[in-house]
Amino acid sequence: MVLLFSTIAPILTKLNKKMNYTFIEINKKKLPIKFGFNALRKYSFKTNTSLQDLDKLGVDMTLDDALTLIYCGIEDGHRAAKQDCDLSVDDLADLIDGDFDSIGKAMEILAEQMGGNTGKKQKAKKK
């Protein structure tokens, strides 16, 4: 039990920093997206990913895993926005066909919401 908590505690700490949803535009369609604990729970269930592997999200993922992760984020974004989600994974794949860069956008949102580094340089604070 202690090992399980020590594995999940850093993930929960990162998630608590930003719990609100944001929007992603995929092929000119604006969708709410949220990579909170519920989205990660759904992704873990659908892909049989262990808690220990959740900190490796976005690294060496299959296309199916990437689509599933983005879908879980969009589905949870709709829930957080109190909107019905009428999108399926297949519908999402069709949208991405016209906007392949949106996979990278979604991974940036994931990194931001998980408190990770997006590769963007931080502006120096003025003294």
Q: Tell me if 9 is assigned to some domain.
A: no
Least-confidence region, from 30-34, 71-75, 86-90, 117-121: 117-121
CA–CA distance from 21 to each of 71, 98, 102 (Å)? Answer: 14, 24, 17
Q: Tell me if 26 is assigned to some domain.
A: yes
pLDDT at 19: 56
Query: What is the count of structural domains for the chain?
Result: 1
Residue 20: pLDDT band (50, 70, 90) is confident
Q: Tell me if 72 is assigned to some domain.
A: yes
Q: pLDDT at residue 117 above 80? A: no
Segment 47-100, tens digit of pLDDT: 998 888 887 777 788 899 999 999 999 999 999 999 999 999 999 999 999 899
Residue 42: pLDDT band (50, 70, 90) is very high
Domain extent for 73: 18-113
- Residue with more model confidence, 121 or 65: 65
pTM of the model as a whole? 0.75
Question: How many helices (H) and strands (E) in the chain?
Answer: 5, 2
- Reading the block at residue 85, the tokens are 């989600």
Q: Tell me if 57 is assigned to some domain.
A: yes
Q: Tell me if 119 is assigned to some domain.
A: no
- Which DSSP category does 98 fall into? T
Q: Tell me if 100 is assigned to some domain.
A: yes
Q: pLDDT at residue 122 above 80? A: no
Q: Tell me if 25 is assigned to some domain.
A: yes
Q: Tell me if 54 is assigned to some domain.
A: yes
For residues 72 and 66, the answer to whether their CB atoms sit within 8 Å is no
